[in-house]
Structure 1
Amino acid sequence: MQLGFDAMPRRLIKVTPSRLSTWVDCPRRFRMAYLDRPTPPRGGAWAHSTLGAVVHNALRAFFDLPVAKRTPEAAVALVGQHWSDEGFAGPTQAAEYRTRAAGWVADYVAENDVSMDPVGLERWVSAPVGTIVAEGRVDRIDERDGEVVIIDYKTGRSALTTDDARSSQALALYVLAARRTLRRPCTRVELHHLPTGTVAAWEHTEESLTRHRTRAEEAAEEFHLATDTLNAGGDPDVLFPAQVGRQCSWCDFRRSCQEGQAAGPAMESWAMLAPLG
């Protein structure tokens, strides 16, 4: 008996945490970021994103150093090497936050055990799970007692909580992908908030991972169907409507979205920095 097309296995949908969160936040921004060609022009750099990237890059380079050279002084020097003024109000503000970032990183390496080599730094992980292929780049993966731990650095304005770690779909998908990629057990996720020196952690169960996976599968099916319908000639504004809200003030595609512009004034590129003090 010959199988019909309905019996053929479905193609898995590749997803990253960024794609999923963009779709949920605003389908129009998803279309502009991932489907429109040429891609609409993006806005300029954001100071808080620059700050976060510098800290991430400095810590990656730090753990690439031999253990004997992993000192707070080395961490401060790496912040300087990776620094950028993009998005800041000017050189004075940039210099103030450069000093702050150097202090965060120096305190972090002084107060934590940095003698162990991570299993992965900026490691790409990918695995089929259910109807999707979950993939993405993890800031750091440690090994503890035969299991791997997913670590995500954060530099935002506020300290993070256990609920933040528990509810993070990105971290849950990284767990699922890391298990397959590294072939090791993995349940623990950690958010390392450098400004406060705190760690928010969560131990996932199979049930909690399944809940995250199911939500990811539902969102992936939605944007996959919308994309297929668009390719078949569907109306882009109907399939990918603008989700208007406060986020329109800092959307990278604001200049190409009339609804977003009407939602409120544009935010200054340094407005989401934590206040100095």
Structure 2
Amino acid sequence: MTEQLGLDQMPKPLRAVTPAKVDSFDSCPRKFRFTYIDRPPPPRGAPWAHTGIGSAVHNALKALWDLPVAVRGPDAALKELRGLWPTVGFRDQTQRQRSLEVVSGWLSSYVETMDLTDQPRGIERTVGAPYGDLSISGRVDRVDEISGPDGPELVVIDYKTGRAVPTEDDARSSMQLALYAVAARRTFRTPCRRVELHHIPSGVIAAAEYTDETLHRQLRRVAYTADDIDTAKQRLAAGVPADEAYPARPGPACGHCDFRASCPEGKAAAPARDPWFAVPEGDPR
């Protein structure tokens, strides 16, 4: 009979990582702890209007691809957007309505540039891949297929609705996009080198193409962060105070952190923001 492996001989389970977890820890270990470690977590602040707006835009674009080709278009996208528009976080009803008009202009202009007959390979698709002892997974906004020099290739697309207009450097240096590219390639069994940030407010598309070396460089960064996450968890288990194992990284973003009320360093670093501080109120495009 084949001898069974003892517990000390069993392979170790892969460490699960997602772009959201890696980015959260890199940005602020204290916020990572509040989000993923503490149970129950500290109370969150009031909902942010801009978070609901971003979610509405993403979901409207997702719903657009679920419609028959014949009815896809700006009007269909705006109908979806109106049905998804958030009700909380705004200063008042006037601001809520005005921001809907502004974002409707963005979305309509963006949809007009799209080839709505070319169905993407994936919409809000979860992708995953192993790397060393890591199990990488994430949810991609959109995965397109294009014709490359050696056959079909994938393009990872990430929608952006914030004020900052992304650049090619932003796309090239994004750990999140690199993880998505590696995971999409594994999930769809198709080469993936190109990533794009689609900024809905401006219509700007910031693109970058990875090589195997640049992808591996980003994956090594992820592995280092995963090691740091494990170290913090081990220190906490060994009795190190939670705020020491997961230190705060105070900065301007503390003003709109969900857990600001539970973090003295965050409260000292930046004044509290109103829930509607990032609501767009300019002229529609």
TM-score when normalising by structure 1: 0.94
C-alpha contact (below 8 Å) 1:129/1:176 kept by paired residues: no
In the alignment, the residues of structure 2 paired with residue 261 and residue 85 of structure 1 have an alpha-carbon distance, to the nearest angstrom, of 27
Where 1:209 maps in the other structure, the secondary structure is helix
Tell me the alpha carbon deviations over residues 52-88 of structure 1, each in whole angstroms, 9 at most, x when there is no partner: 1110010000011111111211111111111112211
How far is 1:265 from its partner?
1.7
- Matched with 2:24 is 22
- Matched with 1:62 is 64
Indicate which of 269, 272, 275 corresponds to 1:269.
Answer: 275
Where 1:223 maps in the other structure, the secondary structure is helix
- Matched with 2:201 is 195
- Aligned positions of 1:100-249 closer than 5 A: 100-145=102-147, 146-249=152-255
Tell me which amino acid in the other structure corresponds to 2:21.
R
Tell me which amino acid in the other structure corresponds to 2:254.
C
In the alignment, the residues of structure 2 paired with residue 256 and residue 121 of structure 1 have an alpha-carbon distance, to the nearest angstrom, of 36
C-alpha contact (below 8 Å) 1:76/1:103 kept by paired residues: no
How far is 1:32 from its partner?
0.8
How far is 1:143 from its partner?
1.1
- Matched with 1:83 is 85
Where 1:141 maps in the other structure, the secondary structure is strand
In the alignment, the residues of structure 2 paired with residue 38 and residue 202 of structure 1 have an alpha-carbon distance, to the nearest angstrom, of 40
Where 1:165 maps in the other structure, the secondary structure is helix
Tell me which amino acid in the other structure corresponds to 2:216.
T
Tell me the alpha carbon deviations over residues 256-275 of structure 1, each in whole angstroms, 9 at most, x when there is no partner: 11221122321111212345
C-alpha contact (below 8 Å) 2:31/2:248 kept by paired residues: yes
How far is 1:195 from its partner?
0.8
For structure 2, list consecutive stretches of 5 or more residues without a partner in the other structure. Answer: none
Tell me the alpha carbon deviations over residues 168-206 of structure 1, each in whole angstroms, 9 at most, x when there is no partner: 110100011111111111111011111111211111100
C-alpha contact (below 8 Å) 1:27/1:240 kept by paired residues: yes
How far is 1:245 from its partner?
1.3
How far is 1:6 from its partner?
8.7
Indicate which of 100, 121, 127 corresponds to 1:98.
Answer: 100
The number of residues matched between the two structures is 276
For structure 1, list consecutive stretches of 5 or more residues without a partner in the other structure. Answer: none
C-alpha contact (below 8 Å) 1:24/1:219 kept by paired residues: yes
- Matched with 1:253 is 259
How far is 1:141 from its partner?
0.8
In the alignment, the residues of structure 2 paired with residue 122 and residue 228 of structure 1 have an alpha-carbon distance, to the nearest angstrom, of 34
In the alignment, the residues of structure 1 paired with residue 281 and residue 107 of structure 2 have an alpha-carbon distance, to the nearest angstrom, of 18
C-alpha contact (below 8 Å) 1:13/1:224 kept by paired residues: no
Identical aligned residues as a percent: 48
Tell me which amino acid in the other structure corresponds to 1:22.
S
In the alignment, the residues of structure 1 paired with residue 228 and residue 8 of structure 2 have an alpha-carbon distance, to the nearest angstrom, of 19
In the alignment, the residues of structure 1 paired with residue 162 and residue 270 of structure 2 have an alpha-carbon distance, to the nearest angstrom, of 23
C-alpha contact (below 8 Å) 1:123/1:138 kept by paired residues: yes
Where 1:268 maps in the other structure, the secondary structure is coil
How far is 1:234 from its partner?
2.8
C-alpha contact (below 8 Å) 1:13/1:131 kept by paired residues: yes
